[in-house]
Structure 1
Amino acid sequence: MKIVLLEDLGVSKQIIDQHSEKLKSMGHTFIAYQKSNDINILIERCQDSDILMLANMPLDKQVIESAPKLKYIDVAFTGVDHLPMDVIKNKNIAVSNASGYATQAVSELCISFMIQLLRHVREVEQRCRQAGTKDGLIGNLLNNKTVGIIGAGAIGKKTAQLCKAFGCHVIAYSRSQVNDPYIDKQVSLQTLLQQSDIVSLHCPLTPETTGMIGENELKLMKKQAILINTARGGVIDSLALAEALKNKTIAGAACDVFENEPPLTKEHPLLNCPNIIVTPHIAFASKESMIQRADIVFDNLYAWLKGQHINKV
């Protein structure tokens, strides 16, 4: 079979070369490309492939439709909302993902965002660099805060566990019943927004969750509350969040994800807001999680080649 890797997996060339040699010894063709956003290049690379491997690069439906031999897509990512899943399902193409590889990395960054915002790290760092002091700018502890987790999957639960280690009260909103020792109570979305000092988003992007945090939801939050988004950018209405920050409807925010993958345009509404931390989708990207991710997707691949479909989407 012809196996095409469409983008870098964030691991050493040595690791990729080892898998390449193994696949060739099994009688398969393996080609690894650097990422391209040019649809014509992607069509050319994929048109005679049996298997595609990729991480979180968007893949247009034209690419899938131009690959008549395609049988399997191995996604080195948790979510698959960057793929045309309707077309993929219609063509009976199997899909696996790498669920779980970034649970620790994402949850650790969430805690970092919480502390940075509560302690005004961004502002006091700027003052220090300008020979200033902390005068008039005193932060708050994470301890004893109520943290609201929206989406109690693996990452949401791990974030809850870390928050409990800091002495937080943790509540959660989830579409399914939550039974977790680190979540104190499952509540409605409205109750969570009203009661939380910190709201942390961990839900997938679906038609139901798109824009779920908008103007009305932000107005329900406490004025001293902060909002953390390491889930999907489309879950938040960016214009509404920008207005909420400028009008001090809420105290702060941290966004690692946006409606479109970075780089963002200079005109993006969140880039010029007060008291927001913005990062270019780094939550999943630790050296350790990249190695684990590569292990998972190549295990997926070898299993598929043996007739087993694991980590099925």
Structure 2
Amino acid sequence: MRIHILDDWFETLPDLPGFSLLDGHGVTVWTDHISDEATLAERLKDAEALVLFRERTHVTRSLLERLPALRLIAQRGAFPHVDVAACSDHNVLLCSGKGGDEPNVAAAELTFTLMLAALRDLPGQMASAKAGLWQNGVGRTAKGLTIGLYGYGRIARLVAHYARAFGMSVVWWASPEGCEKARGDGEVVADSREAFFAESDVVSLHLRLTPETKGAITADDLGLMKPDSVLINTARAGLIAPGALKAALDAGRPGRAAVDVFDQEPLTDPNDPLLSHPRLIATPHIGFVTEQEFESQFGEIYEQIIAYVAGAPINMVNPQVWSRRLYGL
């Protein structure tokens, strides 16, 4: 198959062992991000299969109309960036695996790393040392603090494990179903949403971005946080209401934020008001960017392509496309 891999910004995948699963296919790896749909369509005009790098490129109906050779889109995880109905209308099969039962360890590790960096102001201390000024302020110890985890998923539960190893208390907030499950597991759930934000020293977001959760974290929520508290977001920027995080940092509640995700990605403007905010620690959406995680995620994606070529597709989101093809409809 003629396979195009999109948005591998650092051309990481060809150097990993799992890439050999695509031997025998014509593979093109694109290392930049194209927002202009006409330009993107011209690049992909001969593509029979697309491999999507998370949610970096949106697959719209108008894009699909420009790709007559396309037969398969392979990815992993949620797919709010893909117009599934349009895929079905254009006989493009979407395959998306959910991974195994293991949590995304890389994302959990980065969450905890950002928390420690914020509590100790590591970026500020490093800049001070490199400037010959030596120490710059006093940090906080994690032990004895309360971390509030919003969302009762696998990554959040792994972060809770790390937090307890550091001597932190853990409190939860989630959907009604998530809160009920947490209580059933013997976890501490906040008395109310307001108490969750007001009493946590660290709040870390671990929700999927869906129409229901978009903008779920409001300016009022952030305004309840302590002046010396920290907000961590390694999930999705869209969970926070537009403009609310910058306004909250301007107001000093929370005192600091550490984020791995932004509304616009890649964000390359160093003067962006949020990115350049003095109370913000930022990483460029690297929560899943480790060799081990790439091998796991993309190995599963490559297996979807192999299964499709073998005539036995797996992880089909719109199986009616395959049924039509199978029966010549």
TM range (shorter): 0.7 to 0.9
Q: Secondary structure at the match of 2:126?
A: helix
Question: 8 Å contact 1:110–1:230 — kept in the other structure?
Answer: yes
Moved more, 175-184 or 141-150: 175-184
Question: 8 Å contact 2:103–2:158 — kept in the other structure?
Answer: no
Aligned to 1:44: 42
Over 3 Å counting, the alpha-carbon distance change for 1:140 and 1:312 in structure 2 is farther
The residue correspondences of 1:219-230 to structure 2 (distance < 5 A) are 219-230=223-234
State TM-score, norm by structure 1. Answer: 0.84
Aligned to 1:152: 152
Moved more, 232-241 or 37-46: 37-46
The one of 290, 302, 308 aligned to 2:306: 302
1:214 aligns with 2:215: no
Gaps of 5+ in 1: none
User: What's the CA shift for 1:52?
Assistant: 1.7
1:31 aligns with 2:27: yes
Question: 8 Å contact 2:74–2:301 — kept in the other structure?
Answer: yes
Q: 2: distance between equivalents of 1:10 and 1:45?
A: 20
CA RMSD of aligned residues (A): 2.9
Q: 2: distance between equivalents of 1:107 and 1:130?
A: 32
1:281 aligns with 2:285: yes
Q: 2: distance between equivalents of 1:254 and 1:90?
A: 41
Write the deviation string for residues 149-197 of structure 1: whole angstroms up to 9, x where unpaired: 1222222222122112212222222233334998722345333212211
Aligned to 1:185: 188
Question: 8 Å contact 1:211–1:237 — kept in the other structure?
Answer: yes
Question: 8 Å contact 2:4–2:51 — kept in the other structure?
Answer: yes
Residue identity over aligned pairs, in percent, reads 28
Q: Secondary structure at the match of 1:117?
A: helix
Matched pairs, number: 305
Q: 2: distance between equivalents of 1:183 and 1:261?
A: 38
User: What's the CA shift for 1:115?
Assistant: 0.9
Aligned to 2:324: none
State TM-score, norm by structure 2. Answer: 0.80
Over 3 Å counting, the alpha-carbon distance change for 1:79 and 1:189 in structure 2 is farther
User: What's the CA shift for 1:2?
Assistant: 4.3
1:128 aligns with 2:129: yes
User: What's the CA shift for 1:59?
Assistant: 2.6
Q: Secondary structure at the match of 1:200?
A: strand
Q: Secondary structure at the match of 2:281?
A: strand
Aligned to 2:12: 10
User: What's the CA shift for 1:228?
Assistant: 0.5
Q: Secondary structure at the match of 1:149?
A: strand
User: What's the CA shift for 1:288?
Assistant: 1.9
User: What's the CA shift for 1:309?
Assistant: 1.9
Aligned to 1:54: 52
Question: 8 Å contact 2:183–2:189 — kept in the other structure?
Answer: no
Q: 2: distance between equivalents of 1:182 and 1:108?
A: 23
Aligned to 1:114: 115
Q: Which amino acid aligns with 1:31?
A: V
Question: 8 Å contact 1:238–1:269 — kept in the other structure?
Answer: no
